[in-house]
Structure 1
């Protein structure tokens, strides 16, 4: 029986294999080289290393949809909603995201192939979108629904909007309404082969080309207390559904709450604040301690009782302005509540982290502007408005507004015969100016240098250029009719407030 000891024996075995079975030796050598390369490559990055420091690090190679399967989305939604209900910072962050993304509303402007069609579309849009007829529940106009959708996306991770068709006899400007649904309506148990050549991923059905063809929706909210029936889901064509969510990974089918990365920190911070408050409340209950160096026994109920049982000379409650004379030998010491050293700094660090996770300014999250100067505020809010612009242009407009636009044009074609090439422009609300004097001057220079058109500047302020210039023309005509010259009229007054040259020359000279 052969026995091998140490490296020498292993080398001897390798040499024997090389002589007897060279192909086997070659495969063994290649395997050793691949194994060595694998370990060397892994150790080149600290994040890929394996050791005590990374022992608790969850690193899995799942796709985006596996991360949200098996009830994960539902638990995340429930946790986020609880935080928004009971944590003021979570509520402030979610409300701020919806407020700054939608504001007073992302307004559509339509342009048809003819002036008549354009006017018809604009009239229909105002009649339908600016009334509660657009809401299946008759509560909000289009812009109120936009705010509700964006808030649901940030809080619950996603939102569903369903087109509800209406009869022409219902008396609406257009025969459709939209219904905003929470993501709970999506049946996540529908997952796998659909049986018709399609595949269903957590309630969303795809065809063989990867296109969304249907959504499996419950008839009512599965958490509703108004019904005692088991929830049943139905297949709804994708053309009647708008699915709005932030897609963080390619192939991600469902949306995740924006509080996901901060909810544990927020919950722990809330518990920490409660503990600090309770600590101070308990300490405040012990207002004073009476001592008797001559000896005092504890009477019934734990009250201080003098030797012999006389308690008539002891006051157990303190009142404002109280002056009490203590018997000889008695002393009183007041409680010293524990301090809160480091509480402000710790709270600030935690809330800064929460603000970073939600992608909102710290001041918006907390309402604390005590440590802000102009430069820091400008940088923070400019960065935030860039993110808001992304949410508007990559989430709300393409996923929600374009779906509403498509339903609007289909309904307008049926009820009013509008057709042809129609273009719609959705204008988000303008961002607030940190320093209007400087920002307006910079915008004016952009227009004068040709890097920005006047229409672009008007759209950035949330207005339709055509309507804006028509109103401006009407105002100027009224001023001319009344013979008024105001500083705001650039035709007659310069930036410095003096009359323009042609106006001075045209005025009659006194003789």
Structure 2
């Protein structure tokens, strides 16, 4: 009764406050912000840690070791990581200089390609991309290597994330030190502490991890993906799907074990006779080994019931399909590439699924160009200009501007004839350029045109002519109609 009177008084007071013109606050709330008995266990691990605190050294060490273990023992994980690196890096980037002097451009492109082949730059880029996916980050040290068979003896020495750490004798309470990375007041890396031995190396245990080198930031390339503001170290890109890899393997092994057990001549001996009936005595819970393909004789009054082989079930393939699809989603990879199986795809659905993946690949390639290749090229130029007569004199000035871009392998079209027709239509309507079309294939348009001119000159010299019986390209209306039919089929 008293509670009801207090509520009534509160309502009258609020009404009087409104009539007097006082502010009235409406308090709303989000369902997802409520903690109930049903969702308490689901959100129990949610925290308010900062980006660097959430991925502490211990957390990253655990994630790295588990991811490496899964990639080493799971064929799907291994294939996904290798496929991603092959798509992003391919056969390696190609440099195109964009200065106003074609002769200078050709000299720099030729010598840089020669050096890149000598140090295995493409292979190291693939290793870095694998390390970024598997360990979350990878480091490259720009250093001199006298064994490089090129005039510029610069090399990129790769090290794992485990070697970039603050050694235990050094105080770790400095706010500007993030596990081996020394930052300035603006958050820019200024130096890295590099352990001389990998912490997992047996020789590193004897040295107690005390020996390290402090390298300036200009000599260290740090490849990782920052997903939160203020994040300075990386975590494996498959972290969110790591447990799914384990689930997939456990389910496969469980189905196999169940099928093998049911396939053996195993069963249960039982009798329908009453307890006081005449039947041979059998020791309860006794086990008898049987050979495959043999006939059995049962004790008097007893029968054998064989276990039914119910594995693998009909949903086994569907379960694997969904799990692999969920695993690949964190990498923007379509199912058919992750699973290596395109049996359920048609032409249009394949194009739709690959659009997001190819866009992610182009973003990765641009990031590699900005964070790795541009720095490597600058370090190479700084070393090359010191060699007398190696590069043109105009390049050796201090204020020289060397605009350039990187070409990567293009994506093969599933229907080359249709793509060629579309390309011819774009060129005829002047909605594209030769540079743009060659760039899609990862080629330098100037080099290709020069090669084309040499081929035509040689054909004229030998008295050869191009075949005049080339097929005419399809009309744009036919291409549009076919695309609409395929898209409709994919959606259906």
Query: Which band: TM-score by shorter chain?
Result: 0.7 to 0.9
SS of the equivalent of 1:220 reads coil
Work out whether 1:174 is the aligned partner of 2:174. no
**1:224-260 residue CA offsets vs partner (Å, 9 max, x unmatched):** 1244211233221000011111222222211111111
Work out whether 1:54 is the aligned partner of 2:49. no
Task: Give distance in 2, aligned partners of 1:384 and 1:12.
Answer: 63
**1:310-342 residue CA offsets vs partner (Å, 9 max, x unmatched):** xxxxx94234xx789999988765542234332
CA RMSD of aligned residues (A): 3.6
Q: In structure 2, which of residues 302, 308, 318 is the aligned counterpart of residue 336 of structure 1?
A: 308
1:114 aligns with: 101
Which protein is bigger by CA-based radius of gyration? 1
2:485 aligns with: none
Q: In structure 1, which of residues 194, 207, 216 is the aligned counterpart of residue 184 of structure 2?
A: 207
Q: In structure 2, which of residues 264, 270, 276 is the aligned counterpart of residue 285 of structure 1?
A: 264
2:373 aligns with: 401
Task: Give distance in 2, aligned partners of 1:53 and 1:318.
Answer: 51
Task: Give distance in 2, aligned partners of 1:380 and 1:251.
Answer: 33
Stretches of structure 2 that go unaligned for 5 or more consecutive residues are: 13-21, 474-492
Q: In structure 1, which of residues 366, 377, 384 is the aligned counterpart of residue 339 of structure 2?
A: 366
Q: CA deviation at 1:122?
A: 2.1
**1:431-455 residue CA offsets vs partner (Å, 9 max, x unmatched):** 1212222222222222222221111
Stretches of structure 1 that go unaligned for 5 or more consecutive residues are: 16-28, 135-140, 305-314, 498-511
Work out whether 1:424 is the aligned partner of 2:411. no
Q: In structure 1, which of residues 48, 63, 74 is the aligned counterpart of residue 50 of structure 2?
A: 63
SS of the equivalent of 2:51 reads coil
Number of residues of Structure 1 aligned to a counterpart in Structure 2 = 447
SS of the equivalent of 2:240 reads coil
Q: CA deviation at 1:51?
A: 2.4
2:487 aligns with: none
1:231 aligns with: 209
Distance 1:185 1:372, change over 3 A: same
CA contact (8 A) 1:186 1:218 kept: yes
Distance 1:283 1:455, change over 3 A: same
- For normalisation by structure 2, the TM-score amounts to 0.80
Q: CA deviation at 1:297?
A: 4.7
Q: CA deviation at 1:8?
A: 5.6
* Aligned pairs for 1:302-451 within 5 A: 316-319=290-293, 334-341=306-313, 342-393=315-366, 395-415=367-387, 416=390, 418-419=395-396, 420-451=400-431
Distance 1:478 1:78, change over 3 A: same
Task: Give distance in 1, aligned partners of 2:186 and 2:60.
Answer: 26
1:452 aligns with: 432
Task: Give distance in 1, aligned partners of 2:176 and 2:81.
Answer: 34
Work out whether 1:265 is the aligned partner of 2:239. no
Task: Give distance in 1, aligned partners of 2:239 and 2:230.
Answer: 19
CA contact (8 A) 1:191 1:203 kept: no
1:220 aligns with: 197
Work out whether 1:496 is the aligned partner of 2:472. yes
- For normalisation by structure 1, the TM-score amounts to 0.78
